[in-house]
Amino acid sequence: MPKCGSGFVYCICIYSSKHLRHVDAWTPFQCRPCEAYVPKEHRQFLDRLRNAPQSVKRFVESRKNTVEEKTWYALAGAFNACISRVLDFRWRHWSFVEQFIVRPSTAGFSSSAGSVCPVIHVDSSPSGPQQPVVGTGGTTFDYLQQHITDSQMARIPLWSKHDILQRTPELQAVQAHVDKERKDLANIPPLNEVDGLWDAAGPNGFVTHRLGALNGWCSGFKAPHPGCQALAHLAASIPTHCFSCHEEAGEQSFIHPFVARCDARQEELESLVAPSSTGPPAESLSIADLEHAWLLLCHVACAYRSMKAHSDPKVVVDPAASTSGPPRPAALAKELENDWLENVAKQFAEIIDRPFHGVPEYAELVLNNWYVPGYPSNGKEGEAFIISRENIHLVQPACRFLALPDEEWYRKLHLVLEAEGGRAIAAAHQSIRSAMKQRNNREIVGSLCQLASDIDCLSEFQRNQFDNKDSRGEAIMMQRLRPFVSPNLADTEFAVWIYTEGSSPLLPALHAILGLRKLDGISGPLQEHWQQQGRVCMPANHRDFLDSLESEQSVRAYCLREWRHESVEGIAALEDAFNNCIEALLRYCSLRQRLVLRMFPGVAKIKNLSAEQEQVIRTGRVSLLQMRRVADAQRMHLSTKALSGLLPNVGGPPKFETCGY
């Protein structure tokens, strides 16, 4: 048993003499076995207390209509003062157990889940929630919080709630604020049901919700438009034809093979955005075809620009990049200022309602950059392919810059994180929103525990990837990939971009739903610029999803409102579940730091960035029980103050300590 020491007889005496009854009948079934270890005289004393004809509380309540009003109020006030001291003991005992038993017992907990991609571990399965800490007899420590609630409920009410508010001006202001909060909770608008390629609440999370292979884009099929077919052929040739060329000094510039292939198909590509009476042909494409054409065009335009820089030795990277978007290469030569392929990309960007900054964004590099060879032979025709860690080995990147396995591994890793993480966030948002509207704290606790478990699964998935990967070529892969995706960024800047996942909605969504401070301001002006521009570069559905999360009441804000009204064990469960999510997010960020250091071993600044990010997350922890402890002391003080004002001749109220403070 967690508590069978010197305070045992004291606790039983309090329960027996003051008519305290535990809500889950813990005392009769759990305390009696311990009485065998109590001296005989003590057991006899306890029996006399239990068998007394009437408890103190019943005695005081029975005299309400038989004695003078002032005398009864003095008697009830003295009883409540005793209860306040019992409550103070309860809080102190809970604080001792929590500090010296519960925290040390849970400090080393870590879940184990995940698998390796593209290799699958069949025996891997996500771990369940953390098991509660128990005492030597198998009893959980939750009953300590239930004892606090039971002690609070044992007070004798002196006035109705309306009378208490009228007698105590301090409580009137608090109640007015509480009523406003409850009205705000009742007015939460209903969820909007949306469905589409980028539906953040879809079965693929933040990854595109579509078929494994788009009709007309596979080998042997005719693309929806001649320009689309040209894009598919050019994109497929990027790993083969995009290579670096080193010229000797004095040699004439040459036309790079990939540049020549693109220039040969200029007419076909320009026809995609050519104006006509019915509008550009790209506007007639379906949403899935339009997004896939945009994906191919971003990769082709980026490779074209990078290879054209090799074709003309006068072309250099301008460090003072344009401030209208994320940093990108800016050529000094006029030829690149009037780049025909970049003009095509800019016109296409207006159609798809996303900016083009010269490099592919996260949506094009990861979220829509996938297909399943042979699909739908692996599934039902017309059925969307759901990405998970179990079937990621079937998925291939639709576009790649390098013919390296590490690039494929990098893309697949983030596809799983965005798909499973997006599903977890959408499920948590749906359940928590509904529960908050109904003030169903038990459902909120369950949803938070599930969210923490899902985040831990993502962390363990990354950890397994690192531990079971058969090569350490990430640094080489990034060095070769940088001319295409970040040609003018220093190592530190590019490492920061990878750490925050570019314009991924995953981390911002977690911060928004939990109520943590935004990432802006923790990594310097450059990263703040990325964070601001990243929202613009996201698909419209992702922007709307983040806007809705940030405009709604967060879980942290809800907890900081609900702690005043819920039982002690209820707010303890809320605090534990929310802080578990915080700890899970910290573990996820530490794995992001490990990923970046594998790619940039010499960048030490990423450790400072990670420490700042973790500090932002840690400041989001809540201490609801400590807040409740102080509030209970203030309530007791106000109650005795009101009683003293009613009975000036009885004397001042008994002085008691304020719940350990």
Per DSSP, what are the bridge partners of residue 371? 396
Given a cut of 70, whether residue 168 has pLDDT beyond it is no
Residue in the block written with tokens 């169903």: 440
Output 164 or 474, whichever has higher pLDDT.
Answer: 474
- Rounded Cα distance between 499 and 61, Å, is 64
Name residues whose C-beta falls within 8 Å of residue 40's C-beta, 6 or more positions apart in sequence: none
DSSP state of 175: H
Report the pLDDT value the prediction gives residue 186, as an integer from 0 to 100.
Answer: 45
Given a cut of 90, whether residue 22 has pLDDT beyond it is no
Mean of the per-residue pLDDT values of the chain: 74
Given a cut of 80, whether residue 553 has pLDDT beyond it is yes
- Residue 238: alpha-carbon gap to chain centroid: 36
If DSSP states are collapsed to H, E and C, what string results for 38-94? Answer: CCHHHHHHHHHHHCCCCCHHHHHHHCCCCCCHHHHHHHHHHHHHHHHHHHHHHHHHH
**Sign of the CA dihedral 194, 195, 200, 203?**
positive
- Rounded Cα distance between 48 and 61, Å, is 21
Of the candidates 593, 434, 586, 624, the one whose C-alpha atom is nearest the C-alpha of residue 510 is 586
Extract the tokens encoding 205: 């999370």
Q: pLDDT, tens digit, for every residue of 575-592?
A: 999 999 999 999 998 899
- The answer to whether 325 and 451 are in contact (CB under 8 A) is no
Distances (CA, A) of 616 to 425, 582, 625: 20, 10, 22
Report the pLDDT value the prediction gives residue 101, as an integer from 0 to 100.
Answer: 73
CA contacts within 13 A on the Cβ side of 508: 23
The C-alpha R_g of the chain, in whole angstroms, comes to 33
Given a cut of 50, whether residue 319 has pLDDT beyond it is no
- Rounded Cα distance between 233 and 223, Å, is 10
Of the candidates 488, 498, 239, 477, the one whose C-alpha atom is nearest the C-alpha of residue 366 is 498
Percent of the chain with pLDDT strictly greater than 90: 20
- The answer to whether 114 and 127 are in contact (CB under 8 A) is no
Report the pLDDT value the prediction gives residue 47, as an integer from 0 to 100.
Answer: 80
How many CB atoms neighbour CB 129 within 10 A? 14
- Rounded Cα distance between 638 and 162, Å, is 15
**Sign of the CA dihedral 132, 138, 139, 141?**
negative
- The answer to whether 61 and 156 are in contact (CB under 8 A) is yes
Total length of the chain: 661
Number of helices (H), then strands (E), belonging to the chain: the values are: 28, 0
CATH class for the region spanning 392-622: mainly alpha
Given a cut of 60, whether residue 320 has pLDDT beyond it is no
User: What DSSP string describes 376-406?
Assistant: TTTS-TTPPPPP-TTTGGG-B-S--SS--HH
